Structure 1
Amino acid sequence: MGSGPEEVWLAAWASGGRSNEERKRNKGEETLCWIKLRSMGGCMSSMSSKPIVGSTIRSVGAPRGETKSTNDGGKDKPAALVSDSATASKADSNPSPSKAFEDLKISSQLRKFTFNELRSAASNFQPDGLLGEGGFGCVYKGWIEKYGTAPVKPGTGLTVAIKMLSHDRIQGHKEWLAEVNLLGDLRHPNLVKLIGYCIEDDQRLLVYEFMQRGNLENHLFRRSLDLPWSTRIKIALGAARGLAFLHEEAERRVIYRDFKTSNILLDADFNAKLSDFGLAKAGPEGDKTHVTTRVMGTFGYAAPEYVMTGHLTPRSDVYSFGVVLLEIMTGRRTMDKRRPAREQNLVEWARPYLGKKRQFYRIIDPRLHGNFSVKGAQKVAELVQACVGRNAKARPLMSEVVAVLKPLVDLNDIASSSASFRAMTKERAASIAASPTMESHTRQPKRSISRGSSPYLQPMRSLSPGSEP
């Protein structure tokens, strides 16, 4: 399959900052990456011959009834922003069992499951139990003993989400190890709980707590019922606390590296928890200012200086948080080709309005109908501006972000009663009347989109063999 225009453009963008010589040297590898990416199908259950591609499935952690299509162009799949030329054989990416156990640092808090136990817990991995497609494989709903590993009857015991590594994912084992080694030792109310794991022959599975309300992406962009402003701020605060813990409080400081709406899961009370730690990296130690690594993440969320240099810092996560906060504020995706050219990149479109008290109303999600706090929205706009600033060192710490967001939850100065908001609403209505297509993309139409033609520029995680990401 040939590369389309957006694929060619992304490959060039991902190699930014390198010399022509380096680009020539790496051209073959980048082309190979794209061939692999575009030839991959959707997730297929190892227990069923029925392919999942093209079917409608539920998102990770979503309750029955919250659906998503796997044909949305991989919007919630991490992007391949590959920047180095290190290569390794496929055999190296699928290590022997003995080598796998050497790399595995097992936390005493984790339960070890057998494959048969998890297969029974997930009702033989049947398609009707599929919750979604995660960063490296399929996720199924299952039921296990509350304090053990044995499977129980559906609807009893402890409800869990079981993530299974796809056997053809070259990078998958390293990501599986990262999840077990990092998340196994981390416990925080705003991090999804890793309950246990399975490593048996070539099988790699992870068992998480089940999150009843799915992910933030679904609620912002797919659900018919819109999130109230207070709930949006609650979610943003919870996610900020999760990042602050990773950056500043955890015994081993962690850079998350793939912060985005689809990785923010929600429990029954809309408490936010970060999930999918496959790309997470240990932060710099001692007098080091950054970690040098392959550029990986999701297009639109990755900090520009990280993309250009491969230098990863906690401020890279702060930028990503600013992008998500802007999505929460505007109800728009970070990248959306359905919009007019000047509005496709959310950060660049919104940047001129963020610091202006009389103009920030223009970027507030119109579906809120003025039911938001004026002071709260102003603070959020200022916070977004600070987080997505081009000078990485000037971005705030996540603990400072938490301090700004915390008092915003209880503000009740509603914008609809503000004269400024009413004036802006009239102006917007007049603009729409003059140009009916101006805001015709506020809500995404609910229709299937084939792979390779997605209006969202968020390609998949790199599958190319290479050095430790």
Structure 2
Amino acid sequence: MGNGLKSCKQKHTSPLMNTPLLEEEEAENLRIFSVKELKKATKDFKIEKVVEGEDAYVQTFYKGYISDETTSKLPVSVMEGLIHSQHGLEEWKISKEEAESLGQISHPNLVKLLGYCCEDNRSLLVFEYLQKETLEHHIFQKEEALPWATRVKIAVGIAQGVAFIHSIKNSPLHQELRMHNILLDEQYNAKFLYLDSKKQCWPIDWTFAGTKYMSPEYLGADIVRLETDVYTFGVILLELFTGLKEISIHLERLRTRPFLFTEIIDPRLGSHYPVNAATKMGILIQICTTKHRKERPLMQQVVDVLNSV
């Protein structure tokens, strides 16, 4: 593991670069819904939750049930978006072509898009429903602590999803890589909600909040690269294993003394975690969040390291 972590810094010579990604799932044809169908499925668009990120985007989710070939009641999550603009909140629009394109992107660690509705001037996306809710909910809002091994499993899943998007898109997720955008299924497999076309809707002059996720190159020069996602992932790792929302001071300390990570691990875990693995996790967080973006590892290298923790 020690050698594996060191090799992350040597991105251009590391044999980890040749490690194959988790294979893409075969995409299925998307179902086209009418507003009437979704209104009935969601009991007149009864809101389940509203997510306001630090970007310009507001996501409204409606839980619903649709019929399919195997069951008469398949739970789904219907999403509708709003965008902050100069004129206030405006509806986020997605075309049929964009929805179909999004539906072609399928992976075990992405929330599965089942269908869409582009009708009556509304844009609605229908996703699989994940029972365990968001990672943010489990880390920051529940008293019951996720075990160490479960957190590692979640970290691997997130990393695999990000590595996959990097491999097929060669573009960063940026604002989409957030705790509230990561959901868990019954087996605590992590899946994040990917909305590629959402990025095209951000106002040019929009100032993002939530700077703890933002890399130095973005804050200083508005540079967004694949390495920017690696930085954000390192911050999410720190939140995942410590349960801390305010992590700026700890992040700065870990950059020079990663061994201090064992002092801030989520106290709800008690002593129920492997100390050696925790030390290695601290080093990985340090490498991912280094201020020099070219020294950060590739996401596939991060996957390999996490799989060996």
TM over 0.5: yes
* Higher strand residue share: 2
Residues in 1 aligned to 2:96 and 2:224: alpha-carbon distance in whole angstroms: 20
- 2:73 aligned residue: 157
- 2:170 aligned residue: 253
User: One-letter code of the match for 1:138?
Assistant: T
- Return closer, same or farther for 1:110/1:357 CA change in 2, 3 Å cut-off: closer
CA RMSD of superposed structures (Å): 2.9
Instruction: Map Cα deviations across residues 280-299 of structure 1 (whole Å, 9 max, x no partner).
Output: 669xxxxxxxxx99775743
- Return closer, same or farther for 1:373/1:108 CA change in 2, 3 Å cut-off: closer
User: One-letter code of the match for 1:385?
Assistant: Q
Residues in 1 aligned to 2:308 and 2:267: alpha-carbon distance in whole angstroms: 24
1:350 aligns with 2:270: no
Question: Could you say what secondary structure the match of 2:142 adopts?
Answer: coil
- 2:131 aligned residue: 212
1:201 to 103, 120, 139: 120
Residues in 2 aligned to 1:170 and 1:303: alpha-carbon distance in whole angstroms: 29
- Return closer, same or farther for 1:201/1:358 CA change in 2, 3 Å cut-off: closer
- 2:181 aligned residue: 263
Instruction: Map Cα deviations across residues 370-409 of structure 1 (whole Å, 9 max, x no partner).
Output: 111112111110010011100011100000000000022x
TM-score (structure 2 length as normaliser)? 0.78
CA contact (8 A) 1:215 1:262 kept: yes
1:392 to 267, 271, 293: 293
1:304 to 187, 212, 216: 216
Instruction: Map Cα deviations across residues 267-292 of structure 1 (whole Å, 9 max, x no partner).
Output: 0110000115267669xxxxxxxxx9
- Return closer, same or farther for 1:383/1:299 CA change in 2, 3 Å cut-off: same
Instruction: Map Cα deviations across residues 422-442 of structure 1 (whole Å, 9 max, x no partner).
Output: xxxxxxxxxxxxxxxxxxxxx
CA contact (8 A) 1:323 1:384 kept: yes
- 2:12 aligned residue: none
Q: CA deviation at 1:109?
A: 2.5
- Return closer, same or farther for 1:178/1:131 CA change in 2, 3 Å cut-off: farther
User: One-letter code of the match for 1:271?
Assistant: N
CA contact (8 A) 1:211 1:266 kept: yes
CA contact (8 A) 2:30 2:100 kept: no
Q: CA deviation at 1:124?
A: 1.2
**Among the aligned pairs, what percent are the same residue?**
36
- Return closer, same or farther for 1:147/1:183 CA change in 2, 3 Å cut-off: farther
CA contact (8 A) 1:331 1:365 kept: yes
- 1:368 aligned residue: 269
Instruction: Map Cα deviations across residues 51-81 of structure 1 (whole Å, 9 max, x no partner).
Output: xxxxxxxxxxxxxxxxxxxxxxxxxxxxxxx
Instruction: Report which of the two structures shows the higher radius of gyration computed on alpha carbons.
Output: 1
Question: Could you say what secondary structure the match of 2:136 adopts?
Answer: helix
1:140 aligns with 2:62: yes
- Return closer, same or farther for 1:405/1:296 CA change in 2, 3 Å cut-off: same
CA contact (8 A) 2:255 2:290 kept: no
- Return closer, same or farther for 1:260/1:226 CA change in 2, 3 Å cut-off: same
CA contact (8 A) 2:80 2:92 kept: no
TM-score (structure 1 length as normaliser)? 0.53
Question: Could you say what secondary structure the match of 1:196 adopts?
Answer: strand
Question: Could you say what secondary structure the match of 1:173 adopts?
Answer: coil
Q: CA deviation at 1:181?
A: 6.0
CA contact (8 A) 1:255 1:281 kept: no
- Listed as ranges, the gaps of 5+ residues in structure 2 are 1-26
- Return closer, same or farther for 1:188/1:357 CA change in 2, 3 Å cut-off: closer
* Higher helix residue share: 2
